[in-house]
Chains A and B, each alone.
Chain A
Amino acid sequence: AQSVTQLDSHVSVSEGTPVLLRCNYSSSYSPSLFWYVQHPNKGLQLLLKYTSAATLVKGINGFEAEFKKSETSFHLTKPSAHMSDAAEYFCVVSDSFGGYNKLIFGAGTRLAVHP
């Protein structure tokens, strides 16, 4: 079965500095990978997805992630943090069961952005 590990439960950055949220996955085949963002008391919004095309994936709001098969990683980055980026971020991997796919969520990383 697939699984995903988010290496940091909390990350704190200053506004204007780079953001790095780390994610490792385990998979017996080439998976689909996603990053979602959740603002307080809101639903989840898809930031970006990797589905076996280009290994560097660009998403919304200036975020991007690089799929590295040799490291089984899918880290999320942004060159310059904005106050509005403060939220919880989930790394997600697809898994198959009984002929259907489902999404497996990491425990989340809470990003704080300071002025």
Chain B
Amino acid sequence: DGGITQSPKYLFRKEGQNVTLSCEQNLNHDAMYWYRQDPGQGLRLIYYSQIVNDFQKGDIAEGYSVSREKKESFPLTVTSAQKNPTAFYLCASSTDRGANYGYTFGSGTRLTVV
């Protein structure tokens, strides 16, 4: 079955550590996105990528980095510069460069700083 796989489902990070969240899709979608979800705030866009080897900052990119070396993969690194990383992270993809048809979402990674 086609879809988006995010791993791990739960992730714990110590203060000062970098961690990488995985996002893989087999839908042959060009565009991929990372969102952060906090209670009562909806979803906020961190980074997005429309094509391989290209990505753009979203609304809250500070403290995060991404790469897009393959069409299928869009990993997100939460760096030590992100001061409040505890959140639920969602990866999404879409069929075209537009959003007229909606996004397909992964099941999310819950990151907790310990």
**Which A residues contact B (CB, under 8 angstroms)?**
9, 32, 34, 36, 41-46, 49, 51, 90, 92, 94-95, 98-103, 105-108
Contacts and interface: CB of A to CB of B under 8 A. Distances in A.
Contacts of A9: 40
A103 B105 CA distance: 13
Main secondary structure of the interface of A (DSSP, over half): strand
Contact of B45 (A45, A102, A106, A108): A102
Interface residues of B, number: 27
A9 B105 CA distance: 22
B42 A49 contact: no
Contact of B90 (A44, A49, A107): A44
A-B CB proximity, top 6 nearest:
A43-B105, A101-B99, A105-B42, A101-B98, A94-B99, A44-B105
Contacts of A100: 50, 97-98
9 contacts: A9-B40, A43-B4, A45-B105, A49-B101, A51-B101, A98-B56, A100-B98, A102-B33, A103-B102
Contacts of A49: 101-102
